[in-house]
Amino acid sequence: MATYAIGDVQGCYDELQALLECVGFNRAHDRLWFVGDLVNRGPKSLAVLHFVKELGDRAVVVLGNHDLHLITQHEGFERKRADDTFDDVLGAPDSKELVDWLRTRPLLHLEGNWAMVHAGLLPQWTMAFSLSLAKEVEAALRAPNYHDFLANMYGGKPARWDATLIGWDRLRVIVNAMTRMRFCTTDGRMEFHSKGAAPPADYFPWYATRTAVEPAIVFGHWSQLGLKLTQRIAALDTGCVWGGALTALRLEDRWLVQVPSPGYQAIAE
């Protein structure tokens, strides 16, 4: 049995199938970890959702910012953007079933020597505490009144974690760290405007602020950082939708496989 962590798919269904063929994915024995952003910007978000959902417990998915964008738009809490490409999902007969399935995915997954999150974790958060925080958001997304949470989820403030935070502010910081963050300060202030590999003044890549010994963290979200593999992290967003590659990492031995993409967007997000 093998476990393959896969970078941001973003509706690139054909590349996903090509990648799985390259690694020799065995549906009966292997498992797939998806770092989030299954949908949007690529051409076949509906096909991706159908495929991954039908894998059942052979697939682990954490929520990314584009996944949340699809959920909020489906539920009427966010306007369509010019570069959105998930009308195939919104118009599908089973759109509600798919969005409800997506809405119940976790924000953070921990198993063995690896953890997986879409964007990052703040420096003050131990892995155990991060899991408990993720569960707070997951509970809000799965609650009968989840619309209340969606209506208050977006925004850049507060920009820094504070243990005294409560209510929507607390949940918003958790969502922003785990699905949007690239850079932060050593005291946990996040910066949401810079998308390149180099940090703005006084900020650091979020993973550089974490010093505790912990499981290695696999993540996506950061196409301009690209592939970065160390003993502590595996950054797997290699910009498939922008004409880069779709990447899979076998977690048991760090075997890496990539397939090229023609690209479906002119510039990175």
Other beta carbons less than 10 A from residue 193's beta carbon: 8
Q: How far is CA 15 from CA 20, 32, 116, 226, in A?
A: 9, 15, 21, 17
Integer Cα distance of 6 and 89 in angstroms: 21
Q: How far is CA 65 from CA 60, 104, 210, 268, in A?
A: 17, 14, 22, 15
pTM of this prediction exceeds 0.85: yes
Domain spans of the chain?
3-260
pLDDT at 267 over 80: no
Query: What pLDDT, in 10s, does the model give residues 175-196?
Result: 999 999 999 999 999 999 999 9
**Which pLDDT value is given to residue 269?**
43
Task: Categorize the per-residue pLDDT at 266 as very low, low, confident or very high, splitting at 50, 70 and 90.
Answer: confident
Domain 3-260 has CATH 3.60.21.10: yes
Supply angle C-alpha 5, 249, 49, rounded to 5: 35
